[in-house]
Amino acid sequence: MPEIVLHYIWEQCLWADFAQHTTDGLPIQIISTGMHNTNAGPDYAHARVRIDKKEWVGNIEIHVRASDWNRHRHHLDPAYDNVILHVVRTADRPVYNSRGQLVPQCELRYPSDRDYLSQLFQSASRMDSAFARIGCAEQLLHDPSLLTQGWRQTLLRRRMECKRSSIERLLTLTKGSWEHALYISLARNFGFHTNSLPFEQLAIQTPLNCLLKHSNSLFQLTSMLLGQAGLISDEKMQREYDFLRAKFSLTPIDAAMWKHGRLHPQNSPETRIHQFAELIYQSRNLFGHILDCACIDDMVALFSMTKMGRSSIDILLINTILPYRYAYALYYNCTAEAEQQLAHMAEIAPENNNVVRQWRLLGQTVRSAADTQALLHLYQNFCQHHECVNCDVAYQIFLVNPEKNTILQ
């Protein structure tokens, strides 16, 4: 059985008619299945279960076999230390967290009819929570043109304005320093969502001026950043970091903040920190270079020395570089230059994530990052919050076929 079916059974509470027990016989009451986590780390967060007479709040991890726990190296990952229940189909071995503590396990009991499970798998393969939250999905399936190009352009502009507001908050934090604010924002986006928070904290606790004083030495830059991240494994680097830490009175972040699970090696925190150090080393006055770029190819070239793939560079352009150029242009009332940044979005390949894939299934054409940014903003700010009344798609539905206004009922 694919693991996705167990996820579906868990989320839909299809086990509810069956008594559940731990592998050592203790009764389990599942109070809340938790929130599905699509990023690195345990499968479900903030779950609540009662094992025997004690209630636990924490994470749930689901596997087909219990031995998958070690195969996925969760026994070495502190991110899984808060797993309160390991839900499996077959408990072929006991499992322990990185502290050596035994993790309670449950062989999930559920309907076992083969035909039922076959239908369940087909449903689970199609099931996606993002799709379910798009209230006008049925109408868009029949007429994708209800989501007009004009509304997309408005959504793209609104998304860029949201990013501009975030930049202005960073400028307040950095006392008006565009270069320092860019440094923090760029660091956050080097974390690529999964590790964005620890990367941002790393930048905040490692002042840019400290790095710039040693920007002529890649070894010192890398040692400082890895040391501040709590991820040094090299003795020579550790000695160098100890010297730099004392010199600048630095305080490292908690290494447990970093997530390593489900990441390809090229996306590991260590690899990204090496790339970030390389960028600082190769590009002194990075903000000035970014402003001087005349086209997308020039911007891509700035990051080519980091050995990042083009898709990763595109994400940095979408989430950091173009928003900073946009905000900077408007700060100095250069409206035409700001508009050019919106146009640049149409020159970048479209993003490929779960939300964008759902829009594609609804017949939406996705040609560039301009489209994906607009569709992400629509989903995150309208669909997720059921703000249909303020959405142009709902207006189009009422205008074209008012008798089918079920999305607002």
What DSSP string runs through 3-35?
HHHHHHHHHTTTTTTS-EEBTTS-EEEEEE--E
Residue 85 buriedness (CB in 10 A; 0-12 / 13-18 / 19+): buried
pLDDT the model gives residue 131: 53
Average pLDDT value for residue range 252-256: 93
pTM here is: 0.67
Given this model, what pLDDT does residue 124 score?
Answer: 47
Number of Cβ atoms within 10 Å of the Cβ of 301: 13
Strand partners, 29: 50
Predicted confidence (pLDDT) per residue in 13-35, tens digit: 777 778 999 999 999 999 888 88
Is 177 strand, coil or helix? coil
Q: How confident is the model at residue 409 (pLDDT cuts 50, 70, 90)?
A: very low
pLDDT band of residue 403 (cuts 50, 70, 90) is low
The CA distance from 348 to 299, in Å, is 11
The average confidence (pLDDT) of the chain is: 88
Tokens of 260: 């390593």
Pairwise pLDDT comparison (28 vs 405), residue with the higher score: 28
Q: Where are the domains of the chain?
A: 3-127, 178-345
Percentage of the chain modeled with pLDDT above 70: 91
Per-residue b or e along 224-252, where b marks 16 or more CB atoms closer than 10 Å to that residue's CB: bbbbbbbbbeeeebeebbeebbeebebeb
Task: Report pLDDT for 111.
Answer: 75
What distances in angstroms separate CA 351 from CA 44, 196, 310, 367, one per listed residue? 25, 18, 12, 10
**pLDDT class of 38 with cuts at 50, 70, 90:** low
**Range of weakest confidence among 37-46, 79-88, 249-258:** 37-46
Which pLDDT does position 114 carry in this prediction?
Answer: 59
Confidence of residue 354 (pLDDT cuts 50, 70, 90): confident
% of the chain beyond a pLDDT of 90: 62
Q: What is the pLDDT of residues 367-377, one digit of tens each?
A: 999 999 999 99
The string of pLDDT tens digits covering residues 271-311 is 999 999 999 998 878 889 999 999 999 999 988 888 888 88
Average of per-residue pLDDT across 37-61? 87
Higher pLDDT: 323 or 395? It is 323
- Look at residues 329, 197, 207 and name the one whose alpha carbon lies nearest to residue 280: 207
- The model's confidence at residue 407, banded by pLDDT at 50, 70 and 90, is very low
Site of tokens 């969502």:
193
The pLDDT of residue 130 is above 80? no
CA dist., res. 147 & res. 3, Å (int): 35
- Token pair of 74, please? 């969760």
